[in-house]
Each structure stands twice: as C-alpha cells, then as structure tokens.
Structure 1
Amino acid sequence: MILGIGTDLANIERIEAVLARHGERFRNRVFTAVEQRKAEGRARAVAATYAKRWAAKEACSKALGTGLRMGIAWKDMAVTNLRSGQPVMHVTGWAADRLRAMTPEGHEAVIHVTLTDDHPWAQAFVVIEARPLRGQGDLRG
C-alpha cells in the first residue's frame, strides 16, 4: 500500500548560486558528509548533484506528510547510491520517527526515490510503500 508520495523540482542554477554565496555553511546544514563527497566528486556536475539531493529531501518530506516542518531536519533525510547507481533514501531522527508512526502494524516501510536532471532543472519523486511483513498476510510465503 502507498503511504505517501512527494515530488520536487529544483533549479540547478539557484543551488549553484547558494553554494557560491554560502558554501560550506550551506553544505553542512543541508547535506550529510556522504552526500557532500558524492557531489564534490562529480567535477562537472557538482551543483546538479546537490540540486537532485535537495529535491529528494523536499520530496521525501512531502511524502512523509509534513514538508520541512514539525521537527524534520534536512540531514534527517539522506540520499546514497547503490553500486548500480540507483538512489536510496535513508531517514533518521524525526523523519524516521514519522515514518514509523505512519507505517501500519505488521508492515515495513520502503522508500522509493528517483532523481533526474536536465539543466537547469533537477527533479525527484519519492514514494513510501508499506509492505506486509512475512507471516503477516503476505501471500508470497
């Protein structure tokens, strides 16, 4: 069952300007060390990488049903990538608490995230799914 859906569109040039103006202060307030290493390691796409992660955090907060309020911090949501390149959303702190609260008993929450960019835009979609735990009505065995 779908628990929440969120999307966001970020302007890469706007993120680039914020990075130029606020640099490390902005990066450290919004992005985890892992996210920063990923972005800074992409010499030709630093701002686009940050913009996609910004959009993912916004989309995740919307899927959680709160937006960026009610105690959710930017770094409570973080994007990493599998070896295949597939993005994965991790939640901690208040975002993890909210996710647990919205997940029905007998289910586990799975966060799906997809990212894309086409200069000057970066976009993210987040879908939060509740899957039955094995033995909790899961007909797959």
Structure 2
Amino acid sequence: MIIGLGSDLCNIQRIQNSLDRFGDRFLQRVFTEVEQAKAARRPHTVAGTLAKRFAAKEAFSKAVGTGFKAGVFMKDIGVVNAPSGAPTLALTGGAKARLDTLTPDGHEAVVHLTLTDDHPWAQAFVVIEARPLSPS
C-alpha cells in the first residue's frame, strides 16, 4: 500500500546562487557527505546534481507530511544509489523516525525515488510503499 507521495521542482540556478553566496556553509547544512562527493565528481553539473538531491529532500518531506519541521531536517535525508544504480534515500534522525511512525505494524517502508533534470529545472518524485513483512 502507498503511505506517502511527494514531488518537488527545483530551479538549478537557485541552487547555484546559494552555492555562490554561501558556499561550503550551504553544502554542509543541506547535503550529506555522500551527496557532496557525488556532486564533486561532476564538476560541470554540480548545481544540477545538487538541485536534484534538494528536490528529493523536499519531495520526501511532503511524502511524510511534515515539511521541514517536527524534527525532519534536510541533512537527515540523503540520496544514495542502490546496487542497481537506481536512486533511493538513506534516512537518519527525525526523517527516519517520522517514516517509522507512518509505517503500519507488520510492514516495512520502501522508498521509491526518481530524479530528472532539464536545465533550468530539477525534479524529484518520492513514493513510500508499506510492504507486508514476510512471515518467518
């Protein structure tokens, strides 16, 4: 069953402006080390890479119904890649706690994420699925 759905559209130039204005302070406040490393490996598309991840954070916060309050912080939501290469989210702190409260007993939460960009826009969709646990 689907327990959450969120989407976000982010302007890549807005992220570039934040990088230009706040630099490392912006990176450290918003993005995980994994996300920063991924962007650093893409020197010609740093802002686009980060904008997709920013959109993913926003989309997740909408999917769990809190926005960035109730203990859900941007840095608690990190875009990572599954072994297949597909993007997904690694959650910590308040983001993980919020997801845990939404997940019905006897189920596990599975986060589905899709990212895209077409300058000047980056977009993310998050679907949170509650899957029944397999009987032992």
Considering the TM-score relative to the shorter chain, is it more than 0.5? yes
Say what the alpha-carbon RMSD is for the aligned residues: 1.1
SS of the residue 1:105 aligns to: coil
Find the counterpart in structure 2 of residue 101 from structure 1.
101
Find the counterpart in structure 1 of residue 132 from structure 2.
132
Find the counterpart in structure 1 of residue 77 from structure 2.
77
SS of the residue 2:105 aligns to: coil
The alignment of Structure 1 onto Structure 2 pairs a total of residues equal to: 136
SS of the residue 2:23 aligns to: helix
Worse-superposed segment, 76-85 or 95-104: 76-85
SS of the residue 1:97 aligns to: helix
For 1:48-86, what per-residue CA distance to the aligned partner results, in whole angstroms no more than 9, with x for missing partners?
000000000000010011111111111110001235431
- Partners in 2 of 1:84 and 1:122 — Cα distance? 22
Task: Give the gaps of 5 or more residues in structure 1.
Answer: 137-141
User: Counterpart amino acid of 1:133?
Assistant: L
- Partners in 1 of 2:51 and 2:84 — Cα distance? 21
Task: Give the gaps of 5 or more residues in structure 2.
Answer: none
Runs of 4+ in 1 over 6 A off after TM superposition: none
- Partners in 2 of 1:4 and 1:73 — Cα distance? 17
Structure index of larger Rg: 1
Find the counterpart in structure 2 of residue 3 from structure 1.
3
- Partners in 2 of 1:41 and 1:74 — Cα distance? 21
Find the counterpart in structure 2 of residue 16 from structure 1.
16
Q: Please give the TM-score of this superposition, normalised by the length of structure 1.
A: 0.93
Quote the sequence identity (%). Answer: 61
